[in-house]
Amino acid sequence: MSLLFVREDREYLLEPGETLESDLGVLEVPADVAPGDVVQTHLGETFRARKLRGPDLFNHFERTGAPMMPRDVGLVMGHTGIAEGDAVLDAGTGTGVLSASLARCGATVTTYEQDPEFATVARENMELAGVADRVEVRAGDVTDDLNDLERYDVLTLDTADAPTVVERAPDLLVDGGFLAVYSPFIEQTRETVAAAREAELAGIETLETIQREMDFDDRGSRPSTAGVGHTGYLTVARRA
C-alpha cells in the first residue's frame, strides 16, 4: 500500500521497502511502515507517513490529461447524492479522479475510456486509490454498448458525445436516478440541455463551476487576482 511521506511543503508517494534519494538524504521506507509513523533519512531529516485521502488522488494519480478538479468532483457528488451501494455509469474516464472518488464513497462504478492506453493508466490509478474492486474500467465508446447496459443510480458524463448518451438517459437510469454532465464548453452544454429536455428529464439545472481563492496580507483581504477560477459547466437532471 502506497503512503505519502510528508515534510513541510514536500510530499512523496512511496511504497513500503522503497528507497528515495533527495537533497535531504536517502530515505529507506521500512517494510512495516504505517500511517502516522515518523521515518528518517540517513542525514536525520524526518518525514511523517500519511494515508492517501481523496484529495490526494488529484495530485498523485498518473495523468493522461487534465483531471477533474476537486471542486467539480464535489459538485457532482453533492448534486447526485452518491452513496454506498449506488451503481454508477461513467463515460470519459481520463485520469480517473471522479470514478475513484465515487468508489471511495462506496459506489460501484463502470467507466468507459475510448483510448486503450488511457484506460490502462486509469486501472493502475484505481489500484493506487484502493478501489480496483469497485471500478471497472472499460476501453471503448459507451455509445456502442447503450443497448446492452443495465440501469444505474447515477450517470456521469465527461465526453464530447454526451448529448447522444443523454438522449438514452431514461433507459439507463432507475426511477429518480441522477444525470451529471461536465463540459468545458458552453456549446456542448446547450446541446446537453436540449437532449435532457427531449428525454423529458426533470430538474434540469446547469451551473458554471467557478471558485476564487482569497488573499490575506497586511494591506487587507480580497479575492485572488491569479485567475478567474473557471473550469467548465455542470448540467444535472433526474429521471422522473
| pLDDT (0 to 100) of residue 212 | 85
Q: Is the pLDDT score of 229 beyond 90?
A: no
DSSP string, 75-121: HHHHHHT--TT-EEEEE--TT-HHHHHHHHTT-EEEEEESSHHHHHH
For the entire predicted model, the pTM comes to 0.90
Point out the least confidently predicted range of 47-51, 76-80, 230-234: 230-234
At 66, the pLDDT band (50, 70, 90 cuts) reads confident
| pLDDT (0 to 100) of residue 35 | 95
| pLDDT (0 to 100) of residue 211 | 87
Q: What mean pLDDT, rounded, does the chain reach?
A: 95
| pLDDT (0 to 100) of residue 102 | 98
User: Is the Cβ–Cβ distance between 189 and 166 less than 8 Å?
Assistant: no
Q: Is the pLDDT score of 230 beyond 90?
A: no
User: Is the Cβ–Cβ distance between 105 and 78 less than 8 Å?
Assistant: no
Q: Is the pLDDT score of 109 beyond 90?
A: yes
Pairing type for strands 10-14 and 3-7 reads: antiparallel
Average pLDDT (161-184) is 97
Q: What end-to-end distance do the CA atoms of the chain give, in Å? A: 42
Domains of the chain in start order, with CATH, are 3-50 (no CATH), 56-238 (3.40.50.150)
Distance between CA atoms of residues 211 and 234, nearest Å: 14
| pLDDT (0 to 100) of residue 46 | 96
Average pLDDT (96-121) is 97
Q: What are phi and psi of 4, to 5 degrees?
A: -90, 140
Helices and strands (DSSP H and E) totals, the chain: 7, 15
Distance between CA atoms of residues 116 and 132, nearest Å: 17
At 41, the pLDDT band (50, 70, 90 cuts) reads very high
| pLDDT (0 to 100) of residue 165 | 97
Task: For residue range 194-227, list pLDDT tens digits in order.
Answer: 999 999 999 999 999 988 889 999 999 998 887 7
Q: Is the pLDDT score of 126 beyond 90?
A: yes
- For helices 116-129 and 97-104, the axis angle rounded to 10 degrees is 30
| pLDDT (0 to 100) of residue 15 | 92
At 238, the pLDDT band (50, 70, 90 cuts) reads very high
| pLDDT (0 to 100) of residue 226 | 77
